[in-house]
Amino acid sequence: MLPPADVTKASWRRWARATRAAVSNPESSAAVSAGLRRWPSYQNAGRVLLYLAFGSEVDLAALTDDDKTFFVTRTWPQGRSLSVHRLDPQVLETHPFGYRQPRAEAAAVDPASLDVALVPGLAFDRAGRRLGYGAGYFDRLLPTLRPGVPRVGVTFEALLVAALPAADHDVPMTHLATELGVHQVTA
């Protein structure tokens, strides 16, 4: 059951974590990856930002076999920022919260050089609003992408809702990817 529309982001986060834990499975993650592979913007992209799945997030690891250059983020404790680095399993470490990321000495790249950004979230709504983990890291990173670069919210269909609460600084997605494929957001 969805939270009422007037509840806080914290209530939505509790609902989304529980829902995601209940629906996450390898078959659904494989279906999301298959849909991305059929999407023309992904097919034409050479430089793709993805994320290394943590917990019950949609796992996109299968995409790393594709003929593309992949990038992931590093979380910096000072300044609450993300940097972008080429994905290289040899230079990954485990963050204190348990997710994998590039080590501090990994060379950073300009986010404006990316062709597509695959963005994790706890939930998304049909207008492209993203419910993140609450620290605003991606809301600070996404504006540094080149104008027109697709920002794809990646989630399970069960976590795609009609409307989520949003703040002025929240950066909306241009597309959403679920087990049913990739579709452009219509406001």
Q: What single DSSP character describes residue 58?
A: P
List, for residues 11-59, the tens digit of each pLDDT value. 888 989 999 999 999 999 999 999 999 999 999 999 999 999 988 999 9
How many other CB atoms sit within 10 Å of the CB of residue 2? 13
Split at pLDDT 50, 70, 90, the class of 4 is low
Cβ(39)–Cβ(183) below 8 Å: no
pLDDT at residue 161, as a whole number: 92
CA–CA separation, 101 vs 39, rounded Å?
A: 27
Residue with tokens 């996404």: 142
Closest by CA to 45, choosing from 109, 115, 111, is 115
At 93-115, the pLDDT tens digits run: 888 777 888 988 999 999 999 99
- What's the pLDDT score for residue 65? 95
- Tokens 């494989």 map to which residue? 30
H or E element at residue 70: strand 69-76
- Cβ of 184: how many Cβ atoms within 10 Å? 12
Distance CA 44, CA 178 (A): 20
Q: Mind listing the pLDDT tens digit for each residue in 118-173? A: 999 999 999 999 988 767 788 899 999 999 999 999 999 999 999 888 888 889 99
- Torsion angle in degrees (nearest 10) through CA of 82, 84, 90, 93: 0
